[in-house]
Chain A
Amino acid sequence: MITLDWLYILAGIIFAIWSVLSALDSTNGKGIGNAAFWGLLAVSFFFGGQFSDLANGVLVLVLVAIAGFGQLGRSDPPTTNLVERAGFSEALGNRLFLPAMIIPLTAVVGTILYNWTPLGETGLFEERRETLILFGVGVVLALGVCMVWLKPALLAPAEEGRRLIDSIGWAAILPQMLAALGGVFALAGVGNIIGSLAGEVMPENSVFIAVVIFCLGMALFTIIMGNAFAAFPVMAAAIGIPVLVQQFGGNPAVIGAVGMLAGFCGTLLTPMAANFNIVPAALLEMKDQYGVIRQQVGTAIPLWACNVLIIYFGGFLLWN
């Protein structure tokens, strides 16, 4: 059976190559820092499952120290210039899009086939991980096609990948780190405290204000945690179910579904949702790391108001 561990080994190999190339890169003054950072991440992918929790924790602290004390630099491995790229674009034409499409197509078509045909009974992939594993399969396929078709130097994909990962830098592991923070928050009972605080400010008899507080809680808690999934169980247990459903008799389907979407409006507003808001700013080489969030404020706020109205009308006025 192909498990997630296979994917971790693949990722470990790629990060290890980036680490070695960084160490050998004399043009990057902070090459050693980069080598240590990507190397530790490779170690985490290879051996994280065997390490004790404490060893993994120490690994996290070292990673953070390297990034926090500014030891990560940006490399600039040799690549093609703009004129050469224009020439390639001209010569290769729209076929250039095909290798890029291999990855999502493998993931999507593969997932559909695996779940809706007898293929799934073979038990080829680890349960519920088939999409991510197929994503890895797609990457390997696309890389193979590119190597055969474009015939670049053997190290070219590694160097081009390193150019991109260095432009992202420490932000590459921020989403994973935030997930870890969520784990600690849960252990310390942060959700329960917020839930009881929200319960205390609830008014006695206004349905509309209760809906507003529920949606506001979803959005604010999502802004803090960077993830509506962390906010939802807390707000549903504090207000959604006891107040909106049980006390005021609202429609549970509307309250659940649209409450989550009110949380998604918060995701648009927070740097804590790093992989949606901070990483793309780095990937697109924008000067302002909050540039994506700035473009989303004008959509998130009116859309949040729409969600309040949808719950109020759909869950209460039309339902009763």
Chain B
Amino acid sequence: MTNYWPLAGILIVVIGFALRFNPLMVVVVAAIATGLFGGLDFVAVIESLGKAFNDNRYISVTWIILPVIGLLERHGLQQRAKALIESVRGATMGKLLVLYLLFRQITAALGMKDIGGHPQAVRPLVAPMAEAAAEKTHGKLSDEDNDKVKGMAAATDNVGLFFGEDIFFAIASILLIQGVFESSGYPMATWELAVWAVPTAICAFFIHGGRVLAFDRKLGRPAK
């Protein structure tokens, strides 16, 4: 008889997020519940939480970029990004984001997934450019529409990265797939896997690119 109780941790995460409790609190309560239901004692759960948190410090190291971005913003980086877009004739938000999507997919596919990203590219450059381009076409935006433009800029970065990076054969996810299949007796070269990321990448470009262009058209129309 399988012990299904550890799944309660998942339930806690889902309910916690739905009720909008502080996510850090939700995660820790879920971790403790899962550990206890999984048969660990309380101290062992805290130990495993501490060990895993410590082992994953490299994830939070990337915030050291903020002083540089902040300093450049202090000297007008966002305004510069807007000015650059305003000077390009025929620039629209739709075209800009489609171009960024393509750029992000291609550079990620070549293994350059650190070009782009939210702190280093979207906040200082892509989002202000998208806002400037949208205002150029549609005039001053409402706060709500402005938020949607920002959301779409961030979404474009994510889609471009996720559905570009797996074409690069030396990326972590490809190595993980290779490792899992190899341990089950199906050895494959990384490029055999990477080539199958291409059809999805093309679908992602047309689906998201099409949505961006449709979003730009819809933005112009008065709300019903």
- Residue numbers of A with Cβ under 8 A of B are 4, 7-8, 10-11, 14, 41, 44-45, 48-49, 51-61, 63-64, 67-68, 70, 79-80, 82, 84-90, 92-94, 96-97, 99-100, 103-104, 107-108, 111-112, 129, 131-132, 135-136, 139, 142-143, 146, 150, 152, 156-161, 163-165, 168, 170-185, 187-190, 193-194, 196, 224, 228-229, 232-233, 236-237, 241, 245, 252-254, 256-261, 264, 267-268, 271-272, 274-281, 283-284, 286-288, 291-292, 294-296, 298-299, 302-303, 306-307, 310, 314
Once the chains are docked, how many angstroms separate the CA of A303 from the CA of B203?
Answer: 7
Is the CB–CB distance between A184 and B60 below 8 Å?
A: no
B148 interface hit (Cβ, 8 Å):
yes
Is the CB–CB distance between B50 and A60 below 8 Å?
A: yes
Q: What is the 8 Å Cβ interface bit string for chain B, positions 118-129, against chain A (1 contact, 0 not)?
A: 111011110100
| Residues in B neighbouring A176, C-beta threshold 8 A | 53, 56-57, 59-60
Is the CB–CB distance between A85 and B71 below 8 Å?
A: no
Once the chains are docked, how many angstroms separate the CA of A51 from the CA of B51?
Answer: 9
| Residues in A neighbouring B192, C-beta threshold 8 A | 253
Q: Could you tell me the dominant secondary structure of chain A's interface residues?
A: helix
Once the chains are docked, how many angstroms separate the CA of A7 from the CA of B25?
Answer: 28
B155 interface hit (Cβ, 8 Å):
yes
Is the CB–CB distance between A276 and B186 below 8 Å?
A: no
Which of chain A's residues has its CB closest to B202's CB? A306
| Residues in B neighbouring A276, C-beta threshold 8 A | 118, 158
Q: Could you tell me the dominant secondary structure of chain B's interface residues?
A: helix
Of the A-B pairs whose beta carbons lie under 8 Å apart in the complex, a sample of 5, sorted by A's number, is A7-B64, A53-B48, A96-B80, A176-B56, A280-B154
Is the CB–CB distance between A104 and B22 below 8 Å?
A: no
| Residues in A neighbouring B213, C-beta threshold 8 A | none
Is the CB–CB distance between A57 and B46 below 8 Å?
A: yes
**Shortest 5 CB-CB distances between A and B: which pairs?**
A160-B70, A188-B38, A57-B50, A183-B52, A56-B50
| Residues in B neighbouring A112, C-beta threshold 8 A | 111
Among A55, A94, A136, A257, point to the contact of B193 (Cβ < 8 A).
A257
Count of chain B residues near A, Cβ 8 A: 115
Once the chains are docked, how many angstroms separate the CA of A284 from the CA of B48?
Answer: 34
Known contacts A190-B9, A291-B147: A283-B58 contact under CB 8 Å: no
Once the chains are docked, how many angstroms separate the CA of A85 from the CA of B191?
Answer: 47
Is the CB–CB distance between B61 and A8 below 8 Å?
A: yes
Is the CB–CB distance between B54 and A264 below 8 Å?
A: no
| Residues in A neighbouring B181, C-beta threshold 8 A | 236, 241, 252, 256
Within 8 A of A (CB), among B112-142: 112, 114-116, 118-120, 122-125, 127
Among B49, B71, B157, B166, point to the contact of A180 (Cβ < 8 A).
B49
Q: Which of A63, A79, A168, A179 has the most CB of B within 10 A?
A: A179
Is the CB–CB distance between A193 and B158 below 8 Å?
A: no
CB distance from A315 to the nearest CB of B (A): 9
Is the CB–CB distance between B207 and A108 below 8 Å?
A: no
Is the CB–CB distance between A184 and B31 below 8 Å?
A: yes
Among B28, B76, B162, point to the contact of A89 (Cβ < 8 A).
B76
CB distance from B122 to the nearest CB of A (A): 6
Once the chains are docked, how many angstroms separate the CA of A142 from the CA of B177?
Answer: 36
Q: Which of B53, B147, B180 has the most CB of A within 10 A?
A: B53
B106 interface hit (Cβ, 8 Å):
no
| Residues in B neighbouring A184, C-beta threshold 8 A | 9, 31, 34-35, 45, 48-49, 52
Is the CB–CB distance between B74 and A299 below 8 Å?
A: no
Is the CB–CB distance between A172 and B25 below 8 Å?
A: no
Is the CB–CB distance between A188 and B151 below 8 Å?
A: no
